Amino acid sequence: MTPSLPEREAAVLWPTYARPQVEFVRGQGVRLWDSRGREYLDFLGGIAVVAAGHAHPDVVAAVTTQLGTLGHTSNLYFTGPQVELAERLVDRFGGDAKVFFSNSGAEANEAAIKVARRWSRAARGEDATGIVAALGGFHGRTLATLAATGKPAMHPPFQPLPPGFTHVPFGDADALRAAVGPGTAAVLLEPIQGEAGIRVPPAGYLRAAREITAEAGVLLMLDEIQSGMGRTGRLFAHQHEGIRPDVVTMAKALGSGYPIGATIASSEVADAMQVGDHGTTFGGNPVACAAALATLDVVEPLLGGHVDKVSARLADGLQELRWRLVGRSTWAPGGEDGDPLPGAEVRGAGLWFALDLGEQAPVPAKQVALAALGRGLVVNPVTDTALRLAPPLVVTEEEVDEGLARLAGALGEVGMCR
């Protein structure tokens, strides 16, 4: 018998991913189709990546035109799209900043860590190389970004990791203040923790982090790899708190699926780097930059009006679903319309939400995600108890209603929705 794709994969690919039994072969807008011709609503968007939607004609045209004109020269030479994209990002960041382009989120954070140490050695002294990050934060899977990642259980198999990283509870400004000292180069935080389950810090946390770092003379570096590119309704999530960090990292949605990472640093910090200090073969190549410029053209007009409107619809629909959740048999509904399942909550902003089923959920989030897939809805279990929704920013209110109906069906199928 001809082996199936999963069987062929198991023979030749590292066993690093646990995939459901589906092979997507085509995408258009917010929809995907699998190899059997089944249609899905993609409410994950390739993990908050496909901001412009699948196969957006402007992104496709920009990429194919650029690839057909000039695909790659290396960073030994000037290329126009790279400078144009940097100008655009620096402008949106508020000016007086410089960009380093790479190919992924982890690489964008590696560059941030390197520039922080390079800058701090000169500005604050030879020993000021420490990076303070937050528990629960996720910054990537290279050795340094894994060390920065505040999930201690991920560390042991890959030790020794680069030293110099400490972690404090996320959202706790006092703990952050206590951790920043003479040995610190920078604080590295996600504005909202994505992989931790879309954890939103208390209002004012980022402003406090800005004050603490400014007072100590250390850098505030924000990992906007998941939260950036309009995911929360502003181009950068930190803009909701009206602050300006020293360094911002981006990737994921920047190219709407075409790999590109960016590290934006204030000019004073960026200028600590010398020729030869850092580099990459592919980073910022003309095709990736053309993809990002076209993505920005699609995404920026959606911010404010469209994203806010659809966000409200999705948030309301998820809240309604939360009220309809049913838990273990030990839990009895109370009140007039029944109480929500204890611990169940909706977290997030913009078009980026977690529906947390709570500790009393009778089934893990993974089972709900599988049931949703069976009903033509792509979401992922970001934690054991929480489903993540990050649809393309072009999603319409009708598609949101359709997705919510499919999610309600999936929750009903596992006995969790009344």
Positions marked catalytic: 138, 223, 252
Asked if residue 195 binds ligand PLP (CB under 6 A), the reply is: yes
CB-based contact 124:185 (threshold 8 Å):
yes
CB of 48 vs ligand PLP, minimal distance in Å: 7
d(CA 74, CA 71): 10
| 138 lies in the binding site for ligand PLP (CB under 6 A) | yes
Between helix 305-323 and helix 397-413 the angle, nearest 10°, is 20
Q: List the one residue from 29, 53, 81, 105 that touches ligand PLP (CB under 6 A).
A: 105
Q: Is 139 in the site for ligand PLP (CB under 6 A)?
A: yes
Report the residue number, 121 or 155, with the smaller CB distance to ligand PLP.
155
Binding to ligand PLP (CB under 6 A) within 226-255 occurs at: 226, 251
In eight-state DSSP terms, residue 182 is T
For residue 14, the SS3 value is coil
What is the CB neighbour count within 10 angstroms for residue 360?
16
Q: 130-134 and 165-168: which strand pairing? A: parallel
Window 140 to 179, contacts with ligand PLP (CB under 6 A)? 140
Q: Are strands 247-250 and 219-223 parallel, antiparallel or unpaired?
A: parallel
Nearest to ligand PLP of 208, 251 (CB atom): 251
Question: Which range touches ligand PLP (CB under 6 A), out of 110-118, 171-179, 219-227, 364-372?
Answer: 219-227
Nearer residue to ligand PLP within complex by CB, 33 or 282:
282
If one asks whether residue 256 binds ligand PLP (CB under 6 A), the answer comes out as no
Establish if 400 lies at the interface with ligand PLP (CB under 6 A).
no
CA distances from 137 to 125, 140, 169, 306 (A): 27, 10, 10, 29
Asked if 110 is part of the footprint of ligand PLP (rule: CB under 6 A), the reply reads: no
Distance in Å, CB of 392 to ligand PLP, minimum: 17
CA distance 46 to 34: 15
Distance, in Å, from the CA atom of 289 to the CA atom of 80, rounded to the nearest integer, reads 9
Taking the complex as a whole, how short is the minimal distance between the CB of residue 254 and ligand PLP, in angstroms?
A: 10
**Closer by beta carbon to ligand PLP, 132 or else 408:** 132
Segment contacting ligand PLP (CB under 6 A): 81-89, 100-108, 272-280, 359-367?
100-108
- Residue 200's CB is within 10 A of a number of other CB atoms, namely 18
CB of 225 to ligand PLP, least distance (A): 4
Instruction: Rank residues 47 and 417 by Cβ distance to ligand PLP and give the closer one.
Output: 47
The residue within the footprint of ligand PLP, chosen from 111, 131, 147, 225 (CB under 6 A), is: 225
Q: Quick one: 150 or 403, whose CB is closer to ligand PLP?
A: 150
Q: How many CA atoms lie within 13 A of 109 on its CB side?
A: 28
Is 184 an interacting residue with respect to ligand PLP (CB under 6 A)? Answer: no
Does position 190 interact with ligand PLP (CB under 6 A)? The reply is yes
First to last CA, the chain: 44
Min dist. Cβ of residue 76 to ligand PLP (A):
25
Rounded to a whole number of angstroms, the minimum distance from the CB of residue 398 to ligand PLP is 29
For 389, residues 6+ apart whose C-beta sits below 8 A from its C-beta are: 43, 44, 314, 318, 348, 351, 352, 353, 354, 355, 379, 403
Residue 47 corresponds to which amino acid? I
Q: Which stretch binds ligand PLP (CB under 6 A): 114-122, 190-198, 373-381, 402-410?
A: 190-198
The helix/strand/coil state of 359 is: coil
Closest distance of CB 154 from ligand PLP, Å: 13
For the chain, how big is the Rg over CA atoms in Å? Answer: 22
Q: Quote the CA–CA distance of 402 and 62 in Å, as a whole number.
A: 31
Q: Which listed residue (66, 82, 104, 380) binds ligand PLP by CB under 6 A?
A: 104
Q: How many residues can be counted in the chain?
A: 418
- Binding flag, residue 266, ligand PLP (CB under 6 A): no
Give the footprint of ligand PLP on this chain (CB under 6 A): 104-106, 109, 138-140, 190, 194-195, 223, 225-226, 251
